[in-house]
Chain A
Amino acid sequence: MGSHLDLALLRKLGRGELSRSERWNLVRHLLSGCRQCIKLTARLLMPGGGAAREDLDYASSFARVKVDLERRQIDLATETDAALGLLRELLAEPFDRQRLLVAGDPRFRSWVLCEQLLETAHEAGFEDPIRALELARLGTEMAERLDPAAYGAAQLKDLAARAWAALGNAERIRSDFQAADNCFQKAEQLLKAGTGDPLEKARLYLLKISLLGAQQRFPEAFRLLDRVVTIGRKWKEPQLCGKALIARGLLCALADQQESVHRLLAEGLQLVDPAVEPRLVVCARHNLVVHLVEIGRYPEALHLLEETRPLYDRLKDRMNLLRLRWLEGKIALAQGDFKQAETLLLEVRRELIGQEIGYDAALASLDLARIYARQGRTHDMRPLAEEILEVFRSRQIPRETLTALIIFQKAAELEGVTVGLVHELSEYLQRAQKTSGPRFRATS
């Protein structure tokens, strides 16, 4: 143990790069009590073991970082100038060709282009869910091909995590919850290897919370929401806190905790800037209307709906407008205007099927079934029941829910569906959507 430790060796230790025998020698030497080497090790590896605080001079560190950052700003500005044209060029191509371009043409590998692609995918989620899925997938492929030397390895992991979360969200919109789950797992793995930015984590959590809500995994969703709120408060991001309040309101509505829904959505809306997050504002107000309808406060619901209508029209998001029509159909149904309700619901269902949003199409069909049951139209009920069962059968739903739907379909087949049965099934499925595993009893 005669030879002293040198700085290079200790730096390697700090980076966890020492071989077993090097570690062995180093620790044995320290254990022997060599004061000189203990001091050197302490200086490198322990706070308090080095130079006095006032002697630490960071001027050259700041100077070098400034030069590097200025270079990267110029690169980024150049990328930004080119990105819009590249995005147009890319979006004009069919999906397969887009993938080939991203894989083979270096022009289509830039940070800014990838971000713009992901934002386009997000916006497409409100217009065209299939397109959103393709764009988000392209985003993941682009993020994985970007050069770590140019952008920073950890920063790229963050971007890739964002891309996978966008893909997970697109899968969630299309009701493929299993695929969405896989995407979020991948996103979280990437984020762990990223910069550790808590805001990136919070944004991912917010998207995942939507999925957990749709899957009725409420305890997990609420736990994650608490973490988002903690991050929002700690990092002074009121907008994030507002989003978290709205998300909590939406979750409470799904989890049948109706007493908090109105307050949470209203408080959240106060913190969110409509100029920055117009879609979130529409979503929150929309859900506030849904809540008011569910608790039977129709005049208030209609008033808020009319107040929000200009925002729906301004954004012109196809999916939001579709959900607006669905909501109007539900209100018409609740108020006994069956003709208007049927027209609206048929239109909504047709468009949802066209968008391959099976789960929602089935839910819209259930609203239609309520009309048919009330009007005694058993012949219309039969194909509807088969269609609903088919959609739910292809999803991951509790066995009891499936059993309830089979009973419903068999009853329709025998033209034995009564108002009571549809009513019970509707109530049951609404509860099943909000809570996990209620008991279904076909009393009719």
Chain B
Amino acid sequence: MATLDHPELRESLNTLLKNSRPKLERVLRNFEIPPEDAEDILQDAQLTLLYKWDKIRSPESWLIGTVKKKCIMYWRKRRGSLCEAVDTAILDLLAMPQAPDQEKKDLTCDLNRVLGRLSTRCRSLLKLRYGLGYGPTEVAEQMGYRTSSIRKVTNRCLAALTRQLLAVGFQKEVIALEEEPQDG
């Protein structure tokens, strides 16, 4: 009835964890999870497995799938935090009325340098956002996107901007998604 109420069930959980370790290590390595953060991912997945042991029929594939999913979420969250920070900071920097002219000029120059590496559509979208201070609805109207999809498109462009800012590559398929917004 309840979780792990028999010693043999406990034993089978331990055997599963032991046997699946090489696969789990491979997943963590493929996703390039830093070892200091891998512990949280593993602990969270294994703890959930422990509590739901009697409700999961294919525990090994559940465990591997869950760790994969958590790895994706890990990078999504990190990228999301960075993208959000980049976006709000740029908006703040540009909106600062007391900023000296030279500072604003330097900022615009640095920003244009990064924007220049993006696709035309992303560049146009972000210029409307940063250069003219347009809100999401106005950006959608100007660029012919549906209002419902503008958030997703903007996030893709922000991700591309952030990637260029850091001058490193995401995985190829992610780059393709970000550089060519498909909605609208």
A interface residues, Cβ below 8 angstroms from B:
13-16, 18, 20, 23-24, 26-28, 30-33, 38, 41-42, 44-51, 53-54, 56-58, 60-62, 64-66, 68-69, 72-73, 76-77, 79-80, 83, 111-112, 115-116, 119, 151-152, 154-155, 158-159, 195-197, 199-200, 203, 234-240
Contacts and interface: CB of A to CB of B under 8 A. Distances in A.
B171 interface: yes
B93 A27 contact: yes
Nearest to A10: B82
Contacts of B42: 61-62, 65
Interface stretch (B21-29, B117-125, B132-140, B145-153): B21-29
A16 B79 CA distance: 10
B35 A16 contact: no
B35 A69 contact: no
Contact of B17 (A51, A66, A151, A199): A66
Contacts, number: 190
A222 B43 CA distance: 35
Contacts of A239: 57
A116 B58 contact: no
A27 B163 CA distance: 13
Contacts of B114: 31
Contact of B35 (A24, A30, A61): A61
Nearest to B4: A76
Contacts of B43: 65, 68-69
Nearest to B34: A50
9 contacts: A33-B113, A38-B167, A47-B170, A51-B34, A61-B35, A77-B4, A115-B3, A116-B1, A237-B58
Given A14-B78, A16-B84, A18-B85, 18 more contacts: A16-B77, A28-B93, A31-B111, A47-B171, A48-B170, A50-B32, A53-B30, A53-B32, A61-B35, A62-B42, A64-B39, A65-B42, A69-B46, A69-B47, A69-B50, A80-B4, A152-B47, A152-B48
Q: Enumerate the 6 nearest inter-chain pairs by beta-carbon distance, A residue then B residue, closest first.
A: A27-B89, A61-B39, A31-B110, A23-B85, A80-B5, A42-B168
Nearest to B38: A61
Interface in B146-167: 163, 165-167
Given A42-B168, A83-B2, A199-B56, A15 B81 contact: yes
B110 A33 contact: yes
A53 B171 CA distance: 14
Given A69-B46, A72-B50, A56 B29 contact: yes
Q: What does DSSP make chain A's interface, helix, strand, loop or mixed?
A: helix
Best-buried of B31, B44, B52 by chain A (most CB within 10 Å): B52
A38 B114 CA distance: 13
B61 interface: yes
Nearest to B83: A45
A239 B57 CA distance: 8
B35 A60 contact: yes
Contacts of B30: 53
Interface of B: 1-5, 10, 13, 17, 21, 24-25, 28-35, 38-39, 42-44, 46-48, 50-52, 55-58, 61-62, 65-66, 69-70, 73, 75, 77-82, 84-86, 88-90, 92-93, 106-107, 110-111, 113-114, 163, 165-171
Contacts of B62: 199, 235
Contact of A28 (B13, B28, B51, B89): B89
A41 B82 CA distance: 9
Contacts of B55: 199, 203
Contacts of A46: 75, 78-79, 82, 163, 166, 168, 170
A73 B82 contact: no
Contact of B1 (A47, A119, A154): A119
A56 B165 contact: no
A330 B167 CA distance: 73
Nearest to A239: B57
Nearest to B81: A16
Best-buried of A62, A66, A119 by chain B (most CB within 10 Å): A62
Contact of B52 (A33, A60, A119, A200): A200
B82 A112 contact: no
B47 A115 contact: no
A73 B4 contact: yes
Contacts of A73: 4, 10, 13, 50
